[in-house]
Homo-oligomer: A and B are copies of this chain.
Amino acid sequence: MQDLNTEQNILNAAILVFQRKGMAGARMQEIADEAKINKAMLHYYFRNKQLLFEAVFMQAFSQLAPQLNLIFASNDTVFEKIRKFNSNYIDFILKNPYLPTFIIQELNNNPEFVKKFMVHGNKPDPNPFLLQIEKEITLGKIKKIKPKQLLLNLLSLSVFPFVAKTMLKLVMDVSDQEFLELMEERKTLISEQIINSIKV
């Protein structure tokens, strides 16, 4: 796992630390320790903290967006997309549980900065999905609802538990194991609830 590539090794360590502490709270020394290399190496490879952070953020963000667009832009029906979204996306987040929190946190602390990454193929584009919802409503295939509200519901139900995991575990008194089981169950639970709410 080590030394395949010092640069990727640093990135992996930086992801962990930036995710735990955020940009401002992260320490270059802690990243170096995590990567088991010398602190000076960080500067050798990434010049400074800001650039290292941007590399980490870029990598995180560019994983998330295409994943979303793949589903939004496919040829499936709205029902199928909802099912696929929950199944695939929750799976994806389970494998990268830090991503949503990290992105939302840094986006809140530094909204301007993030817009830099919102270009080319990196921007999540829900428009195809929103237009499709309009269309299926007109065709009488699903109940009337503001497309953005439907999308909000979809995102809220699937992403929120991960963002608020620490709080939820505390408040609802849930173990890591139970949390995983609940998330596993949600893959289908949420889909059925949403579909049920718009089924004609």
Contacts and interface: CB of A to CB of B under 8 A. Distances in A.
Interface of A: 20-25, 101, 103-105, 107-109, 111, 114-115, 118, 123-124, 126, 130, 145-146, 148-149, 151-153, 155-157, 159-161, 163-164, 166-168, 170-172, 174, 182, 185-186, 189-190, 193, 196-197
13 contacts: A21-B24, A22-B24, A25-B25, A25-B109, A104-B167, A105-B105, A105-B108, A151-B172, A152-B168, A152-B182, A153-B157, A160-B160, A196-B197
Contacts of A114: 170
B159 A164 contact: yes
B22 A124 contact: no
Nearest to A20: B109
A186 B25 contact: no
A117 to B, nearest CB: 10
Given A22-B22, A161-B156, A171 B124 contact: yes
Given A146-B182, A159-B160, 12 more contacts: A21-B109, A104-B166, A104-B167, A107-B170, A114-B170, A124-B171, A130-B172, A149-B185, A152-B186, A156-B160, A157-B157, A163-B164
A128 B182 CA distance: 20
Contacts of A145: 189
A148 B109 contact: no
Interface centre among A118, A126, A160, A197 (most CB of B within 10 A): A160
A24 B103 CA distance: 17
